[in-house]
Amino acid sequence: MAKREEWSSRQGFILATIGSAVGLGNIWRFSYVTGENGGAAFLLAYLFFVAIVGLPIVIAELAIGRRGQGDATSAFISIAPRSGWAAPGLIGVAASFLVLTFYAVISGWALKYFAGAGTGVLWQAASADAGGYFQRFVANPGEPIIWQATVLAVTMLVVVGGVQRGIERLNRILMPALALIMAGLAVYSLLQAGSSKGVAFLFTPRWELLLRPDIYLAAMGQAFFSLGVGMAVFITYGSYLPKSFRLPTMAIMIIAGDILIAILAGLLIFPAVFAHGLDPKAGAELVFITLPQIFLAMPAGKIVGTIFFGLLVAAAVTSMVSLLEVPVAYLMHRFGLRRWPATVWTGAIAFLLGLPSAMSYGLLKNIKWRDHQILDNVDYVVSNFFLPTGAIMIALFVGWRWNRPDAIAQANLGDGITANLWIWSLRVGAPVLMAVVLARSFFA
Ligand code: PHE
């Protein structure tokens, strides 16, 4: 058997996992879900879930992956043979795949904006009517599909390239560049007149909102989506990890990077939303309507804007790479497919299943549930229900089924108080919390 691919360096691994974690979830999804759920109170709930539930589970997933040295399902089976515990791995593979279907659509929007920014079409159209430009684009029956297909094709090329050559090399350059430019833009946005309303929206909680159960559901879904928890990503990437890497340190760095980019996105977007008199509750289109307006109003904005949309596409693609890598690794390992057919098949089916999402603001715009279109609902169901369900099972698996000394050793946790905290948060804390939030939202 060929030696399993491995990450070439610690830094390469961290960047690649941050590349997977950081994506449209931190910019597009974070801003619109935060906007819809009232700002600062939601941000608090989100940070709570990231730190209290996300951290132990990220460590757990990495540990399962490294110990299992296979795909997302075989990892469970190798730890607990003949026990039917492959289920959370399967849920993860399914979730990654489903997210990929609509993620490609939004990534396609980002690519369209990048192309439009580069050629100048975007600036012309947006200076007349940024909202109208976006609406016309998504309502077009064919155009969103072409962009969706293009982004998927690019992602497939990277995934066919394999772990080191493709994924690692790309992230090494893109992630630091993205963080830098976003920090610059956030500072700019904060210096604008009227930015204080946006800052208050993001940082001054309206405490009464914390009484609403749906905030917790949304915050949990956002935390999981944005980290990529419950989607077998960390299990799959963890399987390429050498023994010498310490998991807790890496988990903390991944999480810190993810939070940082989300907060920068908030600092960049909300001041502008208020400065331009837009509604923070505008929904999925928030980023695509506000951002061009920010760029149009700033000096050298067209150049900065083009770079920004370029990096947004890059962040989206690095996330799509890992979304696609999960089912591909599964097919390769379980069914002996070679990398390229596995990639082509998965990509093609994801494209087809993504078509309703691509058409959800055009031909299919009248198909609604919860007053939202198809794409938002696929996202809602997968993020708020699939991911927590997978995460609960993973927590219980590591907490109760995996033998404790092995789990703790794999997670590099020593045997002190941290190890106990970790085990008990997986055994009881995290699953109970998640179950309560899920149950509340069913019976609310
Ligand atoms: N975390 C990514 C984002 O925030 C989405 C994603 C989830 C990517 C899982 C890969 C795996 O955009």
| Cα atoms in the Cβ-side hemisphere of radius 13 Å centred on 86 | 15
Number of H helices, E strands in the chain: 22, 0
Which amino acid appears at position 250 of this protein? M
The C-alpha atoms of residue 270 and residue 279 are separated, in whole angstroms, by 10
Distance 116 CA to ligand 1 centre (A): 25
Is 310 in contact with 116 (CB distance < 8 Å)?
no
- Radius of gyration over alpha carbons of the chain, in Å? 21
Q: Where are the alpha helices (DSSP H) in 359-400?
A: 374-381, 387-396
For range 68-79, the mean pLDDT: 84
pLDDT tens for 269-309 read 999 888 878 888 877 788 898 889 889 988 888 998 998 89
pLDDT at 240: 81
State pLDDT tens for residues 360-396. Answer: 998 898 998 888 889 989 999 999 889 999 999 999 9
Indicate whether residue 23 lines ligand 1 (CB < 6 A).
yes
**Ligand 1 contact via 359 beta carbon (within 6 Å):** no
Helices 87-119 and 121-139, packing angle to 10 deg: 140
pLDDT at 104: 97
Q: Would you place residue 3 in the very low, low, confident or very high pLDDT band (cuts 50, 70, 90)?
A: low
Tokens of residue 385, six digits:
């229900």
The residue extents of the domains of the chain are 10-441
- Per cent of the chain over pLDDT 90 is 55
Element (H, E) at 100: helix 87-119
- Determine whether the shortest distance from the Cβ of 171 to ligand 1 is under 6 A: no
323 CB within 6 A, ligand 1: yes
Name the least confident of 33-37, 98-102, 226-230, 287-291.
Answer: 287-291
Dump pLDDT digits (tens) for 196-236.
Answer: 999 999 999 999 999 988 899 999 999 999 999 988 889 88
The answer, yes or no, to whether residue 7 has pLDDT greater than 70, is no
Q: Answer whether 226 contacts ligand 1 (Cβ < 6 A).
A: yes
- The reply to whether ligand 1 has any atom less than 6 angstroms from the CB of 26 is yes
Residue 439 C-alpha to ligand 1 middle, in angstroms?
25
- 287 closest CA partner among 259, 258, 260, 316: 316
Q: Give the DSSP letter of residue 141.
A: S
pLDDT of residue 370: 82
Distance 196 CA to ligand 1 centre (A): 30
- Runs of H (alpha helix) within 168-300: 169-191, 195-203, 213-227, 233-238, 247-275, 286-297
Which of 319, 323, 379, 387 best tests ligand 1's pocket when mutated (most atoms within 8 Å of CB)? 319
Report pLDDT digits (tens) over 341-351.
999 999 999 99
Residue 62 clears pLDDT 90, i.e. is over it: yes
Is CATH 1.20.140.10 correct for 10-441? no
Across 52-69, average pLDDT: 93
pLDDT at 1: 40
Residue with more model confidence, 175 or 184: 184
Is the pLDDT at 164 greater than 60, yes or no?
A: no
- Reported as half-sphere exposure (CB side, CA atoms, 13 A), residue 224 has a value of 33
333 — pLDDT class (breaks 50, 70, 90): confident
Q: How far is CA 175 from CA 7, 72, 112, 171, 318, in A?
A: 17, 25, 21, 6, 9
Ligand 1 atom nearest to 21, measured from its CA: 1
List pLDDT tens digits, range 132-154.
Answer: 999 999 999 899 999 999 999 99
The pLDDT of residue 443 is 74
- The whole-chain average pLDDT of the chain stands at 89
Give residue 23's pLDDT.
Answer: 93
Q: Is the model's pLDDT at 253 over the cut of 70?
A: yes
From the CB of 25, is ligand 1 less than 6 Å away?
A: yes
The first and second tokens of residue 127, run together, are 């200076």
